[in-house]
A = this chain, B = another copy of it.
Amino acid sequence: MARRVVRTPTATAPDLDARKALILEAVVIEHIDSAQPVGSSAVAASADLDVSSATVRSEMVALEREGYLAQPHTSAGRIPTDKGYRYFVDHLKSGVLGTVQQQQVKEFFAGVRGEVEDVLEQTSTLLSQLTSYTSVVVGAGHAHATVLSAQLVNLESRHHLLVTVFSDGSVVKHSVTPSFVATPKEVMEASKQLNALLIGTTLESRVQVPARHDHEAALVREAVSTLHAQQPVTDGEQVFIGGSSKVAEVFDGVETVRQVLAILEQELLVVSLVQDILDQGLSVAIGSEHGYEPLLACALIVAPVTIDGAPAGAVGLLGPTRMKYREAMAAAEVVSANLTRHFAGADDRG
């Protein structure tokens, strides 16, 4: 596991003097736009500071010495470092979505309905369409949800299904295959006992299982142990990744594309990545900040989604470090806000 850099956004930025800040900003903006190193004359022309390119140059060497800019090679322009992007992002005035996108979001949330999973999945598609970056939508696990109902259904001979409904609306099933064939009556009885036993508990609660030796008790024991065998923290979590084809668009270099795709395949890793960033109180992790080497070329924007104030997941956007932060952050924030509102208002509507 790579080293993790813990930092808060504010502690990082010892505030450059106004002119340096303007120059840095100009370089970042221009480089995001052109994907090319930015020269002093371009900066002198674009930013509204009335100085010559020579002055810009001398400021640039300072910025480079302080670690905000880098030079791919002598006699090329400058490109921002991760630290440079960080400064840029920390001093970014929050942007607004384009009107087209606003409309798209509005229509989407007006029309979306159905189960939570479906909504999250469609949201991930929406986000990636809004921004043309790959989106990551994480739905929180049901570690703290309580059991509303547990039911044992016989499929065939020794194969039963334990179907558990949680207070957060999630439904999970587990196979229960004891070493004996139970009668329908025994299954029904076990089902009743399971209901009595499990309702109101969470996956973390310990449950007193009957120690008797009859079939019902055996079924109940097996069902409970199967249910609790699942990892409470990670297992219930859902990840929806939208627009993975965008990876091939926004990153250059087949190898980078491959690496990023490989990361996205490991959903657990993606979840913990997003979680880490949220835990650090960040909304953007740039390059080395998230500590995963294969994602050095990436920036990850996250925005939490809450239900009744409690964290219920997050939406994220994955792009190159030179991504369009303002637009992407706006999109993530708007979508997470809409999602939060959608879930809060879900009961009151149809």
Contact = CB atoms under 8 A, between A and B. Distances in A.
A15 interface: no
A142 to B, nearest CB: 13
Interface in A137-172: 148-149, 151, 153-159, 161, 163, 165, 167, 169, 171
A175 interface: yes
A257 B155 CA distance: 43
Contacts of A350: 177, 179
Interface stretch (A82-90, A246-254, A297-305): A246-254
A114 interface: yes
A244 interface: yes
Contacts of A179: 350
Given A115-B174, A175-B115, A350-B177, A249 B258 contact: yes
A interface bracket (residues with beta carbon within 8 Å of B): 35 or more
A204 interface: no
Contacts of A174: 115
Best-buried of A165, A174, A349 by chain B (most CB within 10 Å):
A165
Given A115-B174, A173-B115, A248-B248, A153 B148 contact: yes
Interface string A76-117: 000000000000000000000000000000000000001100
